[in-house]
A and B are shown apart, each in its own frame.
Chain A
């Protein structure tokens, strides 16, 4: 009964490939987020969706495309992966101010 789950936990891929990370929450929250945490542990928001509608879209390359098929899922698709995309990606959800984070997906681009 994990609250916010992400798959896969680890993703190793070659430059130029396309990959997806999936996120699901069973908390019944309306809002979901994607964050990127770099090697220095700096955490920055990328996107947020409220009830399947895009609310926040930070300055993120358009190679990154979030998709929310329903309010319990927010997936992240990344095209033409670059070395600089290597990071840990966290999904989160919230109903109020407090955000609940998933365990993270460590993406390594070779």
Chain B
């Protein structure tokens, strides 16, 4: 099974609403990152949270990390149609080489 599993697999909301995506993982980590992938494009880094951090903010993004539950959540506030994309969590287990293990992704659709 995969290191990172995301929930929900798909999420459809109205513009202006908040979107929350969850990620669970299995092993201990150095850091956890969130990436966005627009349809037909490469991934874009959004935010990184280290294992000793519990919460981080960047613009409309808020990430939490609970290492005891091995889970993270990404909250996008006041969503926009341009936020429509797939969102992936990725864990760095610290084994060297910056190896990232990606989750299964959440497909977010923001409707006007």
Contacts and interface: CB of A to CB of B under 8 A. Distances in A.
Contacts of B43: 43, 90, 92, 99, 101
Contacts, number: 56
A48 B97 contact: yes
A77 interface: no
Contacts of A55: 96-97
Nearest to B43: A101
A103 B42 CA distance: 4
Chain A's interface size range is: 20 to 34
A100 to B, nearest CB: 7
A63 interface: no
Chain A contact surface mostly? strand
B41 A48 contact: no
Contact of B98 (A40, A94, A101, A102): A94
Contact of A42 (B31, B41, B42, B104): B104
Interface of B: 2, 31, 33, 35, 37, 40-45, 48, 86, 88, 92, 96-102, 104-105
